[in-house]
């Protein structure tokens, strides 16, 4: 099996992605404050060096971070322990990983493009099925734009089609969706990127 490309990046000193949580993680915390039942458990798919997992754990979530890079997972574990934050991390592949019993939030920032197109619909069905009623899926995915030159910093990633991500949540309540553009430093070369973002809530027949 090929070595995860992020192993080498995460083996460098310092934090490849920095310590500041993603905008998506901050949006989840903000939006879930007003929900009738506060979410308690969260899975962070493609947790990297753990910046978002640690952020959620500090806000009271019981967090499981999963990532294919064992170097990233070990680094995340070390960092959480240094900060005195309780988070569990596992080395797993999100193309095949089966979530355990119901989880309140399935979160994925920056990793969905590693799902090949042919398995995406089935993977989303699984993530949705394992979400508690009234729970949340918060996701983002790279989408190509004709006015942004392509920069392939991860040769194994496949872009989403514009609107594809939202399409997986047609039967859920959309709390937030849209597109963000930003400058990424992934791969060491600053480049513009566009991402589709969705925060969706599973219907809760009991509420």
Ligand X SMILES: C[S@@+](CC[C@H](N)C(=O)[O-])C[C@H]1O[C@@H](n2cnc3c(N)ncnc32)[C@H](O)[C@@H]1O
Alpha carbon distance 92, 100 (integer Å): 13
> Measured from the CB of residue 9, what is the shortest distance to ligand X in angstroms?
8
Nearer to ligand X, 114 or 131 (CB): 114
65 binds ligand X (CB under 6 A): no
| CB atoms near residue 167 (< 10 Å) | 13
Q: Give the shortest CB-178-to-ligand X separation in angstroms.
A: 18
Residue from 28, 64, 68, 139 binding ligand X (CB under 6 A) = 68
Of the candidates 39, 72, 134, 135, which one interacts with ligand X according to CB under 6 A? 72
Range 71-77, long-range pairs (CB < 8 A, 24+ positions): 71/4, 71/6, 71/7, 71/10, 71/11, 72/4, 72/6, 72/7, 72/10, 72/47, 72/48, 73/47, 75/10, 75/49, 75/50, 76/47, 76/48, 76/49, 76/50, 77/50
Nearer to ligand X, 37 or 91 (CB): 91
- The correct pick among 64, 76, 94, 198 for binding ligand X (CB under 6 A) is 94
Question: How far out from the chain centre does Cα 191 lie?
Answer: 20
- Binding status of residue 46 toward ligand X by CB under 6 A: yes
Out of 8, 93, 125, 181, which residue is the one contacting ligand X (CB under 6 A)?
A: 93
Contact set with ligand X (CB under 6 A): 4, 6, 17, 22, 46-48, 51-52, 67-69, 72, 93-95, 109-111, 114
């Amino acid at each position: 099996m090929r070595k995860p490309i992020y192993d080498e990046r995460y083996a460098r000193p310092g934090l490849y992605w920095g310590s500041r949580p993603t905008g998506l993680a901050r949006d989840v915390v903000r939006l879930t404050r007003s929900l009738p039942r506060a979410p308690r458990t969260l899975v962070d798919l493609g947790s990297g060096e753990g910046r978002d997992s640690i952020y959620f754990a500090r806000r009271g979530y019981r967090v499981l971070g999963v990532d294919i890079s064992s170097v990233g997972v070990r680094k995340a574990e070390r960092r959480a322990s240094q900060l005195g934050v309780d988070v569990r991390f596992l080395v797993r592949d999100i193309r095949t990983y089966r979530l355990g019993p119901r989880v309140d939030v399935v979160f994925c920032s920056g990793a969905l493009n590693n799902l090949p197109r042919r398995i995406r619909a089935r993977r989303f069905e699984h993530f949705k099925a394992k979400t508690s009623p009234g729970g949340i899926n918060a996701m983002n995915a790279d989408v190509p734009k004709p006015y942004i030159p392509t920069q392939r910093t991860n040769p194994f990633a496949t872009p989403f089609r514009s609107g594809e991500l939202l399409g997986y949540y047609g039967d859920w309540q959309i709390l937030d969706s849209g597109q963000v553009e930003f400058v990424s430093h992934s791969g060491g070369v600053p480049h513009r990127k566009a991402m589709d973002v969705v925060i969706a809530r599973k219907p809760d027949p009991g509420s």
